[in-house]
Amino acid sequence: MRVWRYARRFRAEGHDIRIITDVGLQSMETHVEIDGQRLAGDRLLMSSEAYRNNRLSVPLGPRRLDVEAGYNSWWNVGMRAELDGMTAWESHPGRPIALPGSAARMLAGQSGREGQVARMKAQWPSIAADMAIGLLFFLVAKLADLRTAALIAAGAGLALVLVQRFVKVDLLGGMALFGIVMTLLGAVFAILFEDDRMIMLRSTVLGGIAAGLFLADGLLGGRYLGRRMMLYMPAQNLDPRRLAIGFGLTGLALALLNWLVVALATKDQWLFYTTFADMPLAVAGVFWALRYARPGPRAA
């Protein structure tokens, strides 16, 4: 499926030449039209081969026209045409047709992509289990109260741990185990305080503690939490210190955001936020932390 089209036109040897690059989610294809007639094309399949520029060659009268096209920034495509090895036209004169360093490092960190995709697919049972516990908490809280919801969700989490001992499907991978730990801590809050507000603030309290630990580890060079988290990250070219700091800042931001929702919104609004909005924000924070952890001047 085409996402964007880049088209450039120029004249050479008395001919009207048009270079068109179509960029899709999984491909980049460039073709050449001379005097309105399409002559040649080159297609890159990003899902099955390493990134490269599109290159193709066509005759132009007695001469040979060579065309190259590829990204020269995060969002733009550069094109160049040569006649018998001599530059005849450039879309961005003087700028190399090459990925920015940060983008190249990102792609380099995605080697073994098919294996990573397979691992992601294998985690769908744990993702479904995590979502099921979250929805159970949401429904019980709507029908009863937060204290009852916290206790029932914790019971469901413990039952899931018990079921895992008898099945081969991974139900506790990814974030599911973390989610179960959060439900158990939520139940502790419910038993100790019997107060809706304290149950709602559990993410702020626990998230603040976790953020502090990650930030402290970042100050120590990421020797503990940073290096351990690298074992679960798809990219390998990461700085453990920056990874720990990135996760710490993400956790701190989520903790503060939860506190703001508790302070400014109603219980029903908080319930919707913690069930449906908190996880996407956490995922976005993880992606930001991964980008921040990549070495280089543009990692931040």
- Average pLDDT value for the chain: 81
pLDDT tens, position by position, 35-55: 989 988 898 886 666 778 999
Q: How far apart are CA 234 and CA 244, in angstroms?
A: 16
Specify if 253 maps to a domain: yes
- What's the total number of domains in the chain? 3
Q: Residue 221: how many CB atoms within 10 A of its CB?
A: 13
Residue 115 has pLDDT above 70, yes or no: no
Pick from 181, 200, 219: which residue ends a domain? 200
Specify if 22 maps to a domain: yes
This model's pTM is above 0.75: no
Q: How far apart are CA 184 and CA 151, in angstroms?
A: 8
State the CATH number of the domain containing residue 89. Answer: 2.40.128
User: Do 128 and 191 belong to one domain?
Assistant: yes
Position 259 scores a pLDDT of 95
Position 279 scores a pLDDT of 79
Which range of 8-12, 97-101, 105-109 scores highest in mean pLDDT? It is: 8-12
Pick from 184, 200, 216: which residue ends a domain? 200
Pick from 182, 200, 218: which residue ends a domain? 200
Position 249 scores a pLDDT of 95
Specify if 59 maps to a domain: yes
Which residue range(s) make up the domain with 87? 2-99
* Residues 6+ away with beta carbon under 8 Å from 212: 248
Position 101 scores a pLDDT of 67
pLDDT tens, position by position, 161-215: 888 888 777 676 555 666 677 777 777 877 777 777 887 887 888 788 889 988 9
Query: Which stretch of 91-95, 139-143, 216-220 has the lowest confidence by average pLDDT?
Result: 139-143
Which residues on adjacent β-strands are paired with residue 45? 27
Specify if 117 maps to a domain: no
Beta strands in the chain (DSSP E): 2-12, 15-24, 27-34, 37-45, 54-60, 63-71, 77-83, 86-90
Specify if 112 maps to a domain: no
DSSP tag of 118: H
